[in-house]
Structure formats: structure tokens, C-alpha cells
Chain A
Amino acid sequence: MESVNELVTILPAIIIGFAGLLVMMLDAYIENVRLVFRTTTLFTLGALGIAINDMFGHSGEAFYGLITYGGTAAFGAVLVLIGTLVTVILSRDYLEKTGSHIAEVYSMILFGTFGMLILVSANNLVTLFLGIETMSICLYVLAGLVKNEKKGVEAALKYFLLGAFSTGFLLYGMALLYGASGSTFLTDIATLDDKGMIYWAGVALLLVGFFFKISAVPFHMWTPDVYQGAPTTITAYMATASKSAAFVAFIFVLSRALPEARAEWGDVIWLFSILTMVIGNVLALVQDNVKRMLAYSSIAHAGYILIGLAAGTDAAYSAVLFYLFAYTLMNLGAFGIVAYYEWHKGLDFTEVKNYAGLGFKQPVMGVLMSIFLFSMVGIPPFAGFIGKYRVFAAAVDEGLISLVVVGVLASAASVYYYLRVLINLYMHESDPGITLIRPGVLYSATLIILAALTIYFGVKPGDLTNLLGSFKGISY
């Protein structure tokens, strides 16, 4: 059978799905959280290795064209798996210290990752929808996992209701597109000549559904509450892995299914990009809670990424992929440090003013936080700068000067709220009564590797950009 050979093309997804089932069973019969954690890490690491290898392999379609593999899809898988791996490692210490270390977290994370891996390789509306649903359902559960906190339950409910609502939009859009074109395959939808009202309504609803998932303004209302209420490492997972997966799928839909309508959706994305950048940054300025600030900053980053999508060329798409990579690294890092400060159960480290002087107490953590925040601002030797530069450059090539001007001004404004954290960390007197716990070796090693990668790809982005450029178009 041909299908059996094709299983190799989605090997990372199979490994992750199998690991999810295995971990679930281990938890039920052996009840050893440490074993569950090790198994999860090992399988995720294996899947990541295979995904990285796939990036350099050949690409194509499999399963009757339902999915694509290699190239952009493999890079999307790498982004998702990096996010998962770091989340799993950081979650252990964080959940242990906050007293909610339950083994089910790992199986939910793995199932969610399975959905994301399907999402980044989807070439058909059916697989796309199933990927999004698998991912979302696991995220709803993960958001509400820590139930002794009221905020967590509120976050989960809000996320679930708005998520289900947005899924409705997405599904309706897909149904209309299928009705107009008679096919659910992305490439078949592109060949439609007669674009009537049904087609345009489908495109509009599909865009709304995606805007919800990537939390673009004005569909961002759920983001701050959910990011604040969910356990911090899970927030990191939502902000990086799920957003990267949604963006990669969005690129596939735009470039494969709707290339003919580029002028129209280009204008729509242009508008949403400006709204997202301006409102995301303005609201981030007034936040005192660090997690809410990072939530609004992730909305603002979605705005910068949308600039690349509005440009809509292959160069812009590859710039967006690079941006997503940098975004994943620095957000995982920043949320990881915030999670570390939250270890201290008696002390309240949610407000930015409570960070006063912490930078000197645990110097390594302080320095790492500075690196991640500077990278988010987009200051040169860090990967965040290269990401922003490449996206803006691709947009200038397409003549979207006004967008780039807004983007540059918005990121200039963002300096205020990022540096406010650093000023609190270093320039304010600390409360002498506070002593910080030393982070574990694995925890700090993971964060240090993230920071090292942020610097490495900021200084020497050539290898990655060449690789991204070598993906034959974006089509595969």
C-alpha cells in the first residue's frame, strides 16, 4: 500500500501522537510524574530531530494531496516542536513549584502539538480544520488546568467560548469556499474562475477565523485575559507554538488557495496590520501586569508579521518565517523568566514594580531577561532585529511604505514598555527581605540556549535565511 510508505512524511506527527497516548497510559498505570516528563521530553526531542532533518530533505504532497511535507511545512514543524520542547521542560519546574504538577498536562500538550503539526502541513481544508480543532481543544483544557486560581477558570471559559465562536467563522468560511469551488483542496480553490458573492463571503469569513487565532485587532479581546489567567509556561506555549502554527497555515491558505485574490486580501491585511500594531502597542504601554504586557506585545508582534503577509511575495513569506522563528525564541525565553519569578509562591511577582532590583539577586536570569526583551524591541545584535528588518524590507520592495512607517514608529514606542521591566529589574532598590530560589540546571540551561540562539541568529542569520529562501516558492 502506498499510504504506508507515505506515513514517513508525517513522522514527527506520528511520534508525537503516539507519545501522547503512551504518556496518557503511563500516567494511568504507573503514576510516576518524573517518568512521564522524561518520556515526553525524549519523544519531543526525537520528533524535533526528524523535523529538522526534513527541512533539508525533498518536499511534496502525500495522502492524495491532503498534506504537504518538507520545506515550509517542515520548518513550521520545527517551530512548533521547539515551542513544545521548551514548554515541557519549563513546565516541570514551574508546575512543581506552584503545586499543580499533574501528569495529564504532558499528554494534553502532546495532543495539542499533534494538532499543530497537522495544521502546519495541511493542504486541504479538512485537514486544516481538524488540525486547528485538535490544537484548540487541548489549549482550552490547558488554560483551565490550575483550578485553585479563579483567574485560570475564567481564562479557560473565555478562551473556550470565543474560540468556539471563531471556529464557527472559520468553518462557515470553509463551507462557502467549498460551495463556490466544489473542492476542499487548497490548490483547486485557486483555479476557480467565476468568483461570485459566495466565494468572497467565504474568503472574508476564513480571514476572520484566522484573525481570531492569531489574535489580530479587533479580534484580540480574549488574548490578555487568557494569557494572564493561564499557567505561565502554558501561556508561552500558546503565544509561540500555536501562533506559529496558525501563521504557517495562514500563509499556506493565502499563497495556495487565494493567490488570485491577492489584491483584495492584501488590502484587508494592510488595514488589520495597522490596527494591530497601533492598538497592541498603545495598550501594552499602560499595562502594569507583566504577563498582560507580554500578551499585548504578542498582539503587536502579530501586527508586524501581518506586514509580511500583506506584502505577499515569496521573499516576504520567508521573512515572516524567520520572524516567527525569532519570535518563538524570545517569547519562550521571556515567559520562561516570568515563570521563574512566579516560582516564589509567597511573593507577588505579577506587577512590574515588584520586579524592583531582582536583576542583581539572580544575575543570570536578569541578563537573560534583558537579552530577550532587547530582542523583542528589535535592537541589533539579536534575532528580533533581523526578523523585523527582513519583514520591513520585503514590504518596502512591494511599495507598502506607509505600513513600514507605522511599523517602525510602533516598535519605537514599544521600547518604553519593554525597557520599563529592565529599569525595574536594575535601577530600583530591591526589598532586602526577598531571596530568590536558584533555578535548576535544566531550567537555566534551556533559557541560556534560547538566549544563545537569539544572539547567534542575530549575528549570523545567513544560514537560516538561505535555507528559508531555498524552499521552492512557498508552495511546498
Chain B
Amino acid sequence: MLISQRCSFFKRGDSIMEIYLFFLFATSAVASAVAMITSRDTVNSALFLVLNLVSIAGVFLLLKAQFLAVIQILVYGGAIMVLFLFVIMLLNLSSEENLLNRFSAKYVVGFFLGVIVLSQLLYAIADFTGTLPNFSPGIEQVGTVEALGDELFSTYLLPVLITAVLLTAAVVGAILIAQRKLTGKENK
């Protein structure tokens, strides 16, 4: 009886799928964040950070924030991470350590144990409805570029302009700091 009840949950399809996806993304976000901090190799850290950012983009997608998810992957997962990796590669990399360089039988046992625990987890999670908020019908429009642009250039026009000054100041400041030596100019 309990089983059939659970099966009816599975039949609802997308909603239970969303919960599974949420737990997948949430777990991988937290786990990769921890792994990023604890990993000794900088390249591994950077790659874990990529995994973290992508997982969070997945969570954004589940929350119907499509634009935010795309931007997250494009800007953070793409541009900034590539920059990061370049910097790390240009700096010295003395102790390279491969993630999967020691493959042994215990990993096989671990894998099967992992599958068993995962299936138990999935079974348990199936009861867990109500984790994600109920979206009102209009919410899917809110996350689009159009809706965001409408808000940004009407109500939030002033903050956009302030951001312009902020970015100008940041660029000028960065150039100022990056100059090797500033000499005081004499008065003309």
C-alpha cells in the first residue's frame, strides 16, 4: 500500500523530478564548495568551483530564473573561471596531483555501496514534497530577459546609472593601482 502510494508520487512526473534535481544540485553545490576549500591542488579547487557554479545555475533554473541561470554559467562559469584557470596555469604548478590517479578495487566496492545508499536516499526523498515553493502561473515570465529589462530601465533606472559611476571608478582605480610608479607632476 505504501509502495503504491509512493508510485503515485512517481507518476506525477515533473514535480518529483524537480525535487530530485533540486537535491542533486543542492548536494553537489554544497559538496563541491567543501571540496573546493579542502582540495590542496589549485586547479582542482578551480574545477570544483566550476562545478559549484553550474550546480547553483541548476538551482536557479528550478526556481524559474532562466536568465540568471544562463548569466551564471556564461559569466561566472565561463569567463571568470577561464581567467582564473589561466592565472593558475601561468603561476607555478609544482605539485600536480590527478584526481583519479589511484584506482583500486575498493573504488568498485565503494561504487556499489554508493548506488545502494543513493537508491535508499531517492526512496526517502520521494516523500519530501513541498521543498520547492509553489509557483504562481505568471512566475515563468518574471525570470525572462524582457521582464528584467522592463524593471531595470523603469523603476530601477537610478541604480543602473549609479552602477555606471561605480564601474567607471573601479576601472580608473584599477588602472591607477596597476601603474608601476606614479610620479607627482609638477605644476605648470
Taking the closest CB of chain A, its distance from the CB of B183, in whole angstroms, is 8
Q: Which B residues touch A126, using CB under 8 A?
A: 156, 159
For the complex, is B188 an interface residue (Cβ under 8 Å from A)? yes
* B169:A108 contact, CB within 8 angstroms: yes
Complex Cα–Cα for A410 and B111 (A)? 64
Give Cα A21–Cα B164 distance, bound, in whole angstroms.
11
Q: Indicate whether A5 reaches chain B with its CB closer than 8 angstroms.
A: no
For A118, give the chain B residue with the smallest CB separation. Answer: B162
A63 to B154, CA, bound (A): 10
Cα of A133 to Cα of B181 in the assembled complex, Å: 26
| Chain B nearest CB, measured from A172 CB (Å) | 14
Find out whether the CB atom of A32 lies under 8 angstroms from the CB atom of B188. yes
Within 8 A of B (CB), among A97-130: 99-104, 107-108, 111-112, 114-115, 118, 126-127, 130
The stretch of A75-83, A137-145, A338-346 in contact with B is A137-145
Q: How large is the interface on A (under 10, 10 to 19, 20 to 34, 35 or more residues)?
A: 35 or more
* Known contacts A102-B185, A108-B172; is-contact A127 B159 (Cβ 8 Å): yes
- Check B177 against A141 for contact (C-beta < 8 Å): yes
CB-defined contacts of B155 to chain A, threshold 8 Å: 64, 66
In the complex, which residues of chain A have a beta carbon less than 8 angstroms from the beta carbon of B170? 137
For chain B residues 118-169, which have a beta carbon within 8 Å of chain A? 155-159, 162-163, 165-166, 168-169
B38 interfacial contact with A, CB 8 Å: no
Q: What is the predominant secondary structure among interface residues of chain A facing chain B? A: helix
Taking A126-B156, A127-B158, A130-B159 as contacts, is the C-beta distance between A101 and B185 under 8 angstroms? yes
Contact A138/B173 with A127-B159, A127-B162 known, Cβ cut-off 8 Å: yes
Let me know if B168 and A104 touch, CB within 8 A: no
Chain B residues within an 8 Å CB radius of A108 = 169, 172-173, 176
Closest to A144 in B: B177
Say yes or no: B169 contacts A100, CB within 8 Å: no
Report chain A residues within 8 Å CB of B159: 66, 126-127, 130
> Which residues of chain A are within 8 angstroms of B168 by Cβ–Cβ distance?
21, 111
* Interface status of A17 (Cβ within 8 A of chain B): yes
Contact of A34 among B158, B176, B188 (CB under 8 A): B188
Q: B104 near A: Cβ within 8 Å?
A: no
Contact of B162 among A33, A64, A134 (CB under 8 A): A134
By a CB distance below 8 angstroms, the chain A residues around B163 are 130
Given A20-B165, A114-B165, answer yes or no on A104-B176 (Cβ-Cβ < 8 Å). Answer: yes
Q: Does B182 contact A (CB under 8 A)?
A: yes
Q: Which residues of A contact B (CB under 8 A)?
A: 3, 17, 20-21, 24, 31-34, 63-64, 66-67, 95-96, 99-104, 107-108, 111-112, 114-115, 118, 126-127, 130-131, 133-134, 137-138, 140-141, 144-145, 147-148, 156
Nearest 4 A/B pairs, CB to CB: A141-B173, A111-B169, A101-B184, A134-B166
